[in-house]
Amino acid sequence: MTPIRQPSLYIPHGGGPAFFMQGPMQRMFAPMQEFLAAVHHTLPAVPTAILVVTAHWESPVVFLTGNPKPPLEYDYYGFPAETYTLRYDAPGAPALASRCAALLQAADVQAQVDPDHGWDHGVFIPLKVMFPQANIPVMAMSLQAGLDPLAHVAMGRALQSLRDDGVLIMGSGMSYHNLGGSANAAAESRTFDAWLDAALLGNRLHRQNQLAQWADAPAARRCHPREEHLLPLMVASGAGSDTPARKIWSGLTGPSVVSAWAFD
């Protein structure tokens, strides 16, 4: 059967393991969890594999998980004991990792397969909500240290052809990520979210030019004191076509607006 072309996505991955907790924190993230659980209904077909660009892995060389059975990395702290026994037993995708490394290297991006690295919570937490059957092969990809937005757009562009083979490219981050908090988080997040909407409502070059200057956007550094949770968006946009982004979700997490986009 011929694979069906997948979009690339930028999705929020929540707060640690909040989706799998009880109490106020779980309730705060419940709208996001509901969105993630329904994402598969918006896809044109079941993906042949999932490539997750995670905000929680940075390296000077872009790394790709090559373990056929990647371990989970419980890289969150101070949560209930049961959240450190969560399982996500989807198969790894070592062949896809090798192919991704080759595509990135052909685009002059230093990349290599890591045969040992596991999946951090930016990978397994949203996937456990989105694809609970854990039957689709998964490969995680690091950010490139230096956090250059244009470098990450180029990474996405280099990987775009994977979509034609049914691979779902998914940037996993948060469109608002200020753990220090802000008294004006509600207004600041709305302002930055509106800027993102305008930046993404254009062709690939328009998006690239806008995202390259994201730090100059209104309230940008109030929403992202450090940009690692925004950079997966750059990869997802780079992997997209000239069609403007589609906003597929927007909701509140506490007082802050958080959103998700798809690129066809």
Please state the domain count of the chain. Answer: 1
Q: Which string of DSSP letters, residue by residue, matches 103-147?
A: HHHHTT--EEEESS--B-HHHHHHHHHH-TT--S-EEEEEEETT-
pLDDT computed for residue 182 by the predictor: 81
In a domain, residue 184? The reply is yes
The vertex-258 CA angle with 253 and 260, nearest 5°, equals 135
Residue 2 lies in a domain: no
pLDDT less than 70: residues of the chain: none
| φ, ψ (nearest 5 deg) of residue 9 | -125, 150
Q: What is the DSSP letter of 203?
A: -
Using DSSP, state whether 207 is helix, strand or coil.
helix
Tell me how far apart the alpha carbons of residues 152 and 212 are, in angstroms, rounded to a whole number: 10
Closest CA to 196 of 228, 168, 172, 218: 218
**Beta strands 167-173 and 256-263, pairing class:** unpaired
Q: How far is CA 85 from the centre of its chain?
A: 23
Angle between helices 231-238 and 149-159 (to 10 degrees): 40
Six token digits for residue 16? 């640690």
Strands 246-253, 256-263: pairing kind = antiparallel
- Indicate the pairing of strand 167-173 with strand 138-144: unpaired
**What is residue 242's DSSP assignment?**
S
Position 12 in a domain = yes
Q: Domain containing 256 — which CATH number?
A: 3.40.830.10
- Residue 1 resides in a domain: no
Are 68 and 115 in contact by the 8 Å Cβ rule? The answer is no
φ/ψ region of 181 (left if φ > 0, alpha if ψ in -120 to 50, else beta) reads: left
Please state at what angle helix 149-159 crosses helix 204-212, rounded to 10 degrees.
Answer: 150
Within-domain flag for 229: yes
Measured in whole angstroms, the distance separating CA 63 from the mean position of its chain's CA atoms is 15
Cβ neighbors of 203 (< 8 A, separation 6 or more) are 242, 243, 244
User: Residue 181: what pLDDT?
Assistant: 79
pLDDT at residue number 180 = 83
Q: How far apart are CA 259 and CA 264, in angstroms?
A: 17
User: Which residue is it, tokens 């490139």?
Assistant: 144
Q: What is the reported pLDDT for 67?
A: 98
Computed on alpha carbons and rounded to an integer, the radius of gyration of the chain in Å comes to 17
Domain that holds residue 126: 8-263
Sequence-distant (6+) residues with CB within 8 A of 105 are: 111
> Do the domain assignments include residue 130?
yes
| Contact predicate 135/92, CB 8 Å | no
pTM for the predicted model, two decimal places: 0.98
